[in-house]
């Protein structure tokens, strides 16, 4: 009789340093939770280093299944290749330059089992730049969904996704997005159930100067804006508000919590300079929306 695997760990490999890749793989193989398959999509088939390391590990542990792309497809398409072949009840994302803490899979599996309405959840992360620090994110579903109006708040390499939702509704990463594909995916999944974060760090996230070039940052910023605006329209439709209008004038029937965040989204998405956004906020008497985190987002979006 077929026994469903608890988790599919999905990792894509490209040109990560050899020692980083080894550490990432070892961090999954050393998990206290053991009922998983480990799908590794090699998106740099010309790399002898990738082929050697992945071949060695697939011989050591039969839970590892390597998928060698015939050509470089990019992250988004490679993720969909992995999703297509996944068999776990849940799909856990893992990046090939990060490190999962030893109990990550156990904690995330138990969390999803205890929260059957949750379609995707993440967790806090330990960032490893010049010094280690813990990055925290909203944890409750209403907070997560509201924050998505401004920015992504489920770190991609921490995500665990309920696979039956993907199968039932034929959901995949949008291949029109080379970057920010996770942000677009969470905004889509928000319509299918709860989105959460676990309030503890379960992953060490590497930050390096070469991760995203300045030219790609500009593209990433534009894609994020496109995703944000489409998600905003989805939220506004819940209150029968046309997102193409000045919806700030029509928020009287919206709950206080959402009204606050929709106002933040309105000013963030104004097609004006940072200076005129601030002027508009002051003119309308909406000073209460200017939290430290929100100002950082405004500055970054300028």
CA 284/CA 273 separation, integer angstroms: 17
Chain Cα centroid distance, residue 34: 24
| pLDDT tens figures, 251-262 | 988 999 999 999
The verdict on 156 and 33 lying in the same domain is yes
pLDDT of residue 209: 53
Q: Cα–Cα distances in Å, from 205 out to 68, 219, 299, 302? A: 25, 22, 24, 26
Indicate if 174 and 263 belong to the same structural domain. Answer: no
Q: What is the mean pLDDT of the chain?
A: 94
Spell out where the chain has E strands: 5-13, 36-42, 64-68, 88-95, 99-100, 118-128, 132-135, 160-162, 194-206
Residue 53 lies in a domain: yes
Number of domains in the chain: 2
Domain holding 102, by residue range, is 5-206
Q: Is residue 79 part of a domain?
A: yes
Of 280, 281, 279, 273, the closest CA to residue 299 belongs to 273
- Sign for the pseudo-dihedral over CA of 232, 237, 240, 245: positive
> Domain of 109: which CATH number?
3.90.550.10
Residues 197, 243 share a domain? no
Residue 211 resides in a domain: no
Same domain, 26 and 144: yes
Nearest Cα to Cα of residue 11 among 108, 82, 90 = 82
Structural contact between residues 102 and 31, judged by C-beta atoms closer than 8 angstroms: yes
Let me know: does 159 contact 182? Beta carbons within 8 Å.
yes
What's the CA gap between 74 and 223, in Å, rounded?
16
Residues 6+ apart with CB under 8 A from 116: none
Same domain, 22 and 134: yes
Of 125-129, 146-150, 206-210, 260-264, the one with minimum mean pLDDT is: 206-210
Give the integer Cα–Cα distance in Å for 280 and 118.
37
pLDDT of residue 208: 64
Running DSSP on this structure, what letter comes out for residue 33? -
Assess if residue 224 is contained within a domain.
no
> In this structure, are 198 and 244 located in the same domain?
no
User: Is 223 a domain residue?
Assistant: no
Cα 33 to Cα 76: distance, rounded to the nearest angstrom = 27
How far is the C-alpha of 63 from the C-alpha of 37, rounded, in Å? 5
8 A C-beta contact, residue 50 and residue 44: yes
Name the pTM for this structure.
0.95
Same domain, 99 and 248: no
Do residue 178 and residue 256 come from a single domain? no
- Percent of the chain clearing pLDDT 70 (strictly above): 97
> Within 10 A of 118 (CB to CB), how many other CB atoms are there?
19
Query: Highest-confidence range of 73-82, 123-132, 292-301, by mean pLDDT?
Result: 73-82
Question: What is the mean pLDDT of the segment spanning 144-170?
Answer: 98
Q: Please check whether residues 180 and 243 belong to one and the same domain.
A: no
Could you say which of 161, 188, 206 is where a domain stops? 206
Do 145 and 38 lie in one domain? The reply is yes
Beta-carbon contacts of residue 178 (< 8 Å; ≥ 6 apart): 74, 75, 76, 219, 223
| pLDDT above 90: residue 2 | no
Predicted confidence at residue 213, as pLDDT, reads: 46
28-32, 91-95, 210-214 — which is least confidently predicted?
Answer: 210-214
Residue 104 sits in the same domain as residue 155 = yes
In a domain, 147, yes or no: yes
- Torsion angle, alpha carbons of 294, 228, 129, 92, to 10: 130
- Rounded Cα distance, 114 and 110, in Å: 6
283-291 average pLDDT score: 96
Angle between helices 214-237 and 181-189 (to 10 degrees): 10
Q: How confident is the model at residue 149 (pLDDT cuts 50, 70, 90)?
A: very high
Report the C-alpha dihedral over residues 268, 274, 279, 284, rounded to 10 degrees. Answer: 0
229 belongs to a structural domain: no
Does residue 216 belong to any structural domain of this protein?
no
**Domain end position, chosen among 162, 185, 206:** 206
């Amino acid at each position: 009789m077929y026994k469903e695997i608890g988790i599919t760990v999905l990792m894509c490999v490209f040109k990560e340093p050899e020692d980083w890749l080894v550490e990432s793989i070892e961090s999954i193989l050393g998990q206290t939770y053991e009922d998983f398959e480990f799908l590794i999509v090699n998106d740099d088939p010309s790399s002898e280093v990738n082929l050697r390391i992945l071949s060695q590990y697939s011989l050591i542990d039969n839970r590892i299944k390597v998928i060698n792309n015939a050509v470089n497809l990019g992250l988004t398409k490679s993720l969909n290749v992995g999703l297509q072949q996944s068999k776990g009840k849940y799909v856990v994302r893992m990046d090939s330059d990060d490190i999962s803490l030893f109990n990550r899979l156990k904690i995330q599996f138990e969390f999803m089992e205890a929260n059957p309405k949750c379609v995707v959840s993440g967790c806090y992360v330990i960032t490893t730049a010049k010094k280690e620090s813990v990055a925290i994110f909203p944890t409750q579903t209403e907070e997560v969904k509201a924050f998505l109006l401004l920015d992504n708040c489920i770190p991609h390499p921490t995500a665990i996704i309920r696979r039956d939702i993907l199968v039932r509704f034929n959901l995949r990463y949008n291949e029109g997005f080379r970057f920010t594909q996770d942000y677009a995916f969470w905004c889509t999944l928000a319509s299918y159930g709860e989105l959460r974060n676990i309030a503890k760090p379960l992953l060490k996230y590497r930050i390096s100067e070469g991760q995203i070039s300045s030219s790609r940052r500009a593209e990433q910023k534009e894609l994020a804006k496109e995703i944000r605006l489409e998600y905003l329209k989805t939220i506004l439709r819940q209150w029968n508000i046309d997102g193409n209008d000045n919806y700030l004038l029509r928020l009287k029937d919206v709950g206080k919590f959402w009204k606050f965040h929709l106002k933040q989204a309105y000013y963030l998405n104004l097609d004006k300079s940072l200076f005129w956004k601030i002027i508009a906020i002051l003119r309308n008497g909406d000073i209460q929306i200017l939290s430290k985190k929100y100002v950082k987002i405004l500055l970054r979006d300028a």
